[in-house]
Structures are given as C-alpha cells and as structure tokens.
Amino acid sequence: MNNNKLNLDSAQTLLEEHRQKLDRFSELLIAENQKYNLTRIDSPEQIWVRHFLDSLAGLSVLNELSKKTGKPLKILDIGSGAGFPGLVLAIIRPQWQITSLEATEKKANFQKMVCDTLELKNTTILNGRAEAVAHHAQFRQQFDAVTARALAAMPVLAELSLGFVKIGGLGLYWKGPSANKEVQTAQAAIKQMGAKIENSLSYTLQTEDVEPANLSLVICKKIKATPTQYPRVFGIIKKKPLS
Ligand code: SAH
C-alpha cells in the first residue's frame, strides 16, 4: 500500500469560489444544530475546515477517476449525516451526480432542506440503511465511487459500501491517524467484497482554536463483482465482522 501526503491547497481555493453557497450551508447547520445537535463542530471557522475542507480530502482522487472514465462521476455518500462529504462535493462539482444515503430521517430531511435552499440540482437524498439499499438492483454496482466519513470500522465499512461500486470504481474512506492499522484488520473483508486496497493518504487539518487533526483517506479499488450475499443484515455484520 502506498502512503502519501495529501495537499489541500487547491481544495481550499475551490471552496473560496463557492463561498456564497457554503456560507449559507454553514448558517443552516448552525441553526439546525441548536435544535438537534447535528454536529459538535459549530463555529463558522471550524465548520469551514473540519467539515467543508475535510470533505474535499478525496477530491484529487475523484478528479483523476473522472478523467479516466471520461464522464461526470456518479457518487454515493453513505451515512452522510448533515451532508459530509456528499453535499460539499455536490456544491463544488455541479456536473457530478451525488446520491446521499442517511439512516436517520431528521438528518436526511435536513439535507433535503439544504439542497432546496441552495438550489442544488445534482443531488438525490435517500433516507435508508446501506445494508438494505445495497441489494436493490437500481443501486447495486451503479456508482463510480462511494464515500464515507465517520461511519464504521474498516471491515464493516467495506461490507456496507463496496457492493454499490462499479468494477474499476473506488471506495473512499475518511479515517483518523490509525488508519493503517485499521486497514490491516480489514484486508480479508475488502478482498471478499471484490476489492483491494489502493492507497492511503495522510493530511492535517489546522484551525486556530484547537489542536491540529491528523487524518487519512483510505482508498479501495473494486476489481470484481461483490458476492450477492453481501452486505449481510446489520446485526450479523456487527457480531461477526468479516476477517
Ligand atoms: N458522514 C457524516 C456523518 C457521520 S455520523 C460526517 O462525517 O459528518 C454516521 C452517520 O451514519 C449517522 O448520521 C448515522 O445515522 C448514519 N448511519 C449509520 N449506519 C448507517 C447505515 N447502515 N446506513 C446508512 N446510514 C447509516
């Protein structure tokens, strides 16, 4: 597995170009957070770095994939919460199709409200669970890439997400500093899903008032079809993670 450092300078520039929409998103998030506690990160500066900039950690990899396919990407963001990274990708890449899948209804509804307010035309928000939706023909092996941030440990994540990915497509997973160790424990699960580990990129997010966060992005590539029995029901995935 390669281990490279990720540079987020061009992502920062791109965010600036979409500041108007992103500031509105930030305001909606802060207002909603006061009602429901959607996220612990709640100052505009923290939101900009820890949500918006972090959401673009996968951008260079996705840009490359888009160049390779020669078409606008179809991306599924799983367990998207208040819309990260999915809605940020939708804002900065209006030509890509972003589907956002979230199990909690109030969070999916918040995302719908954000899409309406910002007039995003390239998003579909689904309220549902990955392990169920992954078995629908309409979604199975239909996406160029899946993304997931703060959803589950790697073996669970591999099982929940890789059935959605086309052969040749990618799984992008936002992880903390111990990603490499986590990936080692997920080797077998990733292989059973018909994928392999492609890369792991490390990066640091820095804001004024808190410690820098050392993070990483793990990338898996789908090389053959995921066996139809996966993903299993959630209770079984949790109780008996693939190993
Ligand atoms: N990606 C967002 C939210 C992370 S919290 C962020 O980084 O800010 C994880 C989210 O995944 C929660 O909102 C939870 O409701 C959702 N979730 C958990 N299990 C899921 C599943 N099996 N399918 C779909 N969503 C799920």
Q: In the prediction, which pLDDT does 3 show?
A: 64
Q: In the prediction, which pLDDT does 212 show?
A: 87
Q: In the prediction, which pLDDT does 197 show?
A: 96
User: 9: domain range?
Assistant: 2-239
Q: In the prediction, which pLDDT does 151 show?
A: 95
Span from the CA of 103 to the centroid of ligand 1 (angstroms): 7
Closest Cα partner for 183 from 150, 220, 145? 220
Query: Phi first, then psi: what are they for 2, rounded to 5°?
Result: -75, 155
Mean pLDDT by 10 residues, the chain (243 residues): 81 97 97 78 90 97 97 97 98 98 97 98 98 98 98 95 98 92 93 96 87 94 98 94 87
The four Cα atoms 125, 126, 131, 132 give a dihedral, to 10 degrees, of -160
Distance (Å, whole) CA 213 – CA 204: 6
Q: How many domains does the chain have?
A: 1
Are the beta carbons of 158 and 190 closer than 8 angstroms?
yes
Q: In the prediction, which pLDDT does 36 show?
A: 72
| Beta carbon of 233 within 6 Å of any ligand 1 atom | no
Span from the CA of 141 to the centroid of ligand 1 (angstroms): 20
In CATH, what number is assigned to the domain containing residue 98? 3.40.50.150
Q: In the prediction, which pLDDT does 178 show?
A: 83
- Name the residue at shortest CA distance from atom 1 of ligand 1: 80
Q: In the prediction, which pLDDT does 37 show?
A: 67
- DSSP readout, 83-128? TTTHHHHHHH-TTSEEEEEESSHHHHHHHHHHHHHHT-SSEEEEES
Q: In the prediction, which pLDDT does 75 show?
A: 98
- Name the residue at shortest CA distance from atom 11 of ligand 1: 79
Q: In the prediction, which pLDDT does 211 show?
A: 83
Pairing outcome for strands 195-205 and 213-222: antiparallel
| Beta carbon of 84 within 6 Å of any ligand 1 atom | yes
Kind and range of the H or E element at 185? helix 179-192
The four Cα atoms 52, 56, 102, 190 give a dihedral, to 10 degrees, of -150
Q: In the prediction, which pLDDT does 41 show?
A: 79
Q: In the prediction, which pLDDT does 42 show?
A: 76
